[in-house]
């Protein structure tokens, strides 16, 4: 099954555009293994999400045991829910091939995030996996996004717009998506115009301050779909006590319902 | 000790600007574990290099065992030789912190490569490790480098030049370097002008077709130092037989000596 079909199925089944970022930070979570923590979070939220997105950094920082925990975490996620490996990889051809294989074969992710700085041949080994999703960083959610992504050509066109345009041209398999931060809602509107059909992975809600309603309105396609609203800390650390899983569920349901309210207004 | 001092010490001791890329590709190497392979390569070459650079992709593709092999490989390298973790990471602030900790603390690299697309706050957690080296991708060695790095502003200034300029401004701790491919020798000349004192990590020689003499002439600083000429496949796979380690040594000595001939011409 193609990634985008899997995404839409999970999204429709759970009536959700919410993606939970599985970023276990040992400084913020209760005292337990990250594997137990992830398992509890997944059990508490798997019927209200459209995807999960573990970020490699939080596993690599724990060494090889962390990566083993990541591998096992994937096994806890119900099969019908797509899993996005957030690794932001990018390297030359033969090396990118190894990364793509690591993400899609070894770990078995349904999709991965990649960095466009090195150009097409660094992305192509990922794109060649036709049934996997490839989310190219376009307009990231952080303040530093402006440093290079705002670089403009003589016509006033920004680098991030060029990335969106190129991604659209390269999308012959229909498996490319873009990462666009909710913290830049006007840019999100523009990017949705350049790529009307692509899935957009939208971080930046919650701890980073992006506005949920604006992100949903600007992020969805013409059918109110294909926006993947990622929230991590606001859900994972809704409570630091023993009730962290229930609190995470409440927070996840809250975000999911707020997204659906915005969608109802859009349709109304 | 600061990274650049360690680099210069190893470089002077071994009279070498050669960095060997420890990229064990199971399709190309003799039948043995990557740990044994790396150990043999290191024993055969450690007195003729200025640094080693393992690329994470070749370890991640083997799963957690691969990363364990990477961790143990680091232990085989003599203490005085700097090790550059080629991971090309880049992520938002709190996540970049975890990556920096993973590379510098957990694995214990002396330096790391990073991707500038997400801007300063994605690089700063690395730069804050004052004694570690941070090599920012600037002009990469692959054909796709042109896709976005050539993006030009109204004044004809390219993105990669802006990255070099910004890197120079951000270099308050003197621990930033740049990655510049030998396959674009004219751009290497320009970048060396923008950043006269920075260490430049230069891939693209050998299998990728970059010209060694041009890269050395354009890459070194005013003292004929601070260019790190990376070669991987041409050395690692000089022979696919039982003599792979001796063949690797011969190849490494050959590149090192050719570099030194160019330096002698420069000085003469």
pLDDT of res. A207 = 78
Shortest Cα distance from B17 to chain A (angstroms)?
Answer: 22
Residue A267 has pLDDT above 80, yes or no: yes
B143: nearest CA partner in chain A: A121
Which of B71, B95, B142 is the closest to A121 by Cβ? B142
Q: Which residue has the higher pLDDT, B207 or B233?
A: B233
Mean pLDDT of all residues in chain A? 97
DSSP A104: I
Residue A87 has pLDDT above 80, yes or no: yes
pLDDT of res. B84 = 98
- Digit-coded pLDDT (tens) for A222-245: 999 999 999 999 999 999 999 999
- Digit-coded pLDDT (tens) for B131-146: 999 999 999 999 999 9
What's the average model confidence in pLDDT over B9-27?
Answer: 97
Q: Which A residues, 24 through 63, put their C-beta within 8 Å of a C-beta on chain B?
A: 25, 55, 57-58, 60-63
Residue B234 has pLDDT above 90, yes or no: yes
Q: B58 and A117: CB-CB below 8 Å?
A: no
Q: With a cut of 0.95, is the ipTM above it?
A: yes
Dihedrals phi, psi of A38, to nearest 5 degrees: -60, -45
Q: Would you report the helix, strand and coil content of chain A in percent, each value rounded to 5?
A: 50, 15, 35
Shortest Cα distance from A34 to chain B (angstroms)?
Answer: 15
**In angstroms, what CA-CA distances link B55 with A150, A243, B25, B45?**
30, 41, 11, 18
Dihedrals phi, psi of B178, to nearest 5 degrees: -130, 150
What's the average model confidence in pLDDT over B250-260?
Answer: 98
- Digit-coded pLDDT (tens) for B182-223: 999 999 999 999 999 999 999 999 878 889 999 999 999 999
Q: A121 and B115: CB-CB below 8 Å?
A: no
Which of A94, A123, A141 is the closest to B92 by Cβ? A141
pLDDT of res. A197 = 98
* A85 and chain B in contact, CB less than 8 A: no
B5/B132 Cα distance (integer angstroms): 11
Residue B55 has pLDDT above 80, yes or no: yes
pLDDT of res. B152 = 96
Residue B167 has pLDDT above 90, yes or no: yes
pLDDT of res. A209 = 85
- Digit-coded pLDDT (tens) for B169-186: 999 999 999 999 999 999
- Which residues of chain B have a CB within 8 Å of the CB of A25? 94, 98
Closest CA to A182 of A192, A174, A168: A192
CB A155 within 8 A of CB A132: no
């Amino acid at each position: 099954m193609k990634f985008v079909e899997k995404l839409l199925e999970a999204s429709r089944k759970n009536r959700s555009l919410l993606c939970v970022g599985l970023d276990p930070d040992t400084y913020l979570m209760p005292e337990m293994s990250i594997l137990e923590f992830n398992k509890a979070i997944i059990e508490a939220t798997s019927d209200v999400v459209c995807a999960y997105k573990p970020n490699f950094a939080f596993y690599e920082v724990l060494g090889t045991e962390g990566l083993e925990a990541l591998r096992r975490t994937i096994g806890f996620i119900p099969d019908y829910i797509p899993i996005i490996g957030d690794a932001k990889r990018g390297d030359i051809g033969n090396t990118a091939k190894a990364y793509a294989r690591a993400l899609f074969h070894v770990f078995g992710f349904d999709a991965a995030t990649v960095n466009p700085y090195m150009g097409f041949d660094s992305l192509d080994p990922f794109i060649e996996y036709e049934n996997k999703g490839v989310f190219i960083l376009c307009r990231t959610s952080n303040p530093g996004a402006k440093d290079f992504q705002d670089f403009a050509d003589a016509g006033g066109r920004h680098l991030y717009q060029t990335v969106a345009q190129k991604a659209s041209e390269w999308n012959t398999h229909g498996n490319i998506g873009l990462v666009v931060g909710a913290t830049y809602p006007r840019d999100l509107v523009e990017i949705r115009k350049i790529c009307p059909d692509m899935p957009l992975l939208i971080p930046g809600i919650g701890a980073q301050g992006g506005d949920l309603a604006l992100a949903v309105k600007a992020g969805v396609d013409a059918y109110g779909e294909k926006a993947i609203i990622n929230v991590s800390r606001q859900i994972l650390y809704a409570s630091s006590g023993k009730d962290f899983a229930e609190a995470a569920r409440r927070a996840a349901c809250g975000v999911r319902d707020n997204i659906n309210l915005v969608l109802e207004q859009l349709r109304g």
